[in-house]
Copies of this chain bind each other. A is one copy, B any other.
Amino acid sequence: MVSAIIVAAGKGTRMGPDVDKLFLPVAGRPLVAHTWRRFDAAPGVDEIILVVRDGMQGAFAEMAAEYGFKKPHRLVAGGKERQDSVWNGLQALAPAAEIVAIQDGARPCTAPAVIAATIAAARETGAAVAAQRVTDTIKESDGGALVARHIDRARLWAVQTPQTFRVPVIRRALQTVRERGLLVTDDTAACELIGQPVKLVESAAPNPKVTTLSDVPYIELLLQREAA
């Protein structure tokens, strides 16, 4: 059995206190409804756990009805940090869940083939992440405004979501993070802590995340082109 956790508890503070980026209308629906639809439609996914902010449960319940999402889903309260939200999501998985795909709520364009490929790779390796090769020329600064050195981009990948795991692997990895009082920016970083190899799964199509309002028009364009 495969579960998905959609992390939709972020406050999106980079957009200001009054904007909840997950509910921005994009290509005719709230942003997070596009993300949810991806997993509702993904053939290999059996259930969906949505980790949401307290007080937003009603909005998500309405969304399920309005867009006719079909798969079993459960709402779970978010935690203080992203890793706490993921942890809460893991507690809510069906007992039979073997694989879990963890997705940013604000990343609405993930291709079905990429979801499927991370699931297959996680079955095989234990952990897998959607990623794209870095195509920009990259420099490391000296900490200020001067270039300190050139970084060879040949081996660099920008990682995205889904980040997909055998359930015991991510449980053990995040347990380790919690015991050591660490803060990790993504779930594969937790795997690195326990020596769990992580497979890179190339996203051929763009798979961007909304971080600031200036990201919205591009994502709207991608969603509209797909719908056309």
By a beta-carbon cutoff of 8 Å, the part of chain A in contact with chain B is 125, 129, 131, 134-143, 145-151, 155-160, 185-186, 188-189, 192, 197-201, 206, 211, 214, 217-218, 221, 225
Contact = CB atoms under 8 A, between A and B. Distances in A.
A200 B136 contact: no
- How many copies altogether? 2
A206 B214 contact: yes
B200 A150 contact: no
A174 to B, nearest CB: 16
A145 B149 CA distance: 25
Contacts of A125: 146
A217 B221 CA distance: 8
B200 A147 contact: yes
A27 to B, nearest CB: 13
* Pairs A-B, 7 closest by C-beta atoms: A136-B158, A147-B198, A141-B155, A137-B159, A140-B155, A145-B200, A139-B157
A218 B221 CA distance: 8
A137 B200 contact: no
5 contacts: A134-B136, A134-B138, A143-B155, A146-B197, A147-B198
B199 A146 contact: yes
A206 B131 CA distance: 21
A32 B47 CA distance: 49
A212 to B, nearest CB: 9
Contact of A199 (B143, B145, B157, B218): B145
B156 A151 contact: yes
Contacts of A140: 155-157
Contacts of A157: 138-141, 147
B138 A158 contact: yes
Contacts of A160: 136
Given A145-B201, A147-B200, A206-B214, 19 more contacts: A125-B146, A134-B136, A137-B159, A137-B186, A139-B159, A139-B198, A140-B155, A140-B156, A141-B155, A145-B200, A146-B197, A146-B198, A147-B157, A147-B188, A147-B197, A147-B198, A217-B225, A218-B221, A221-B221
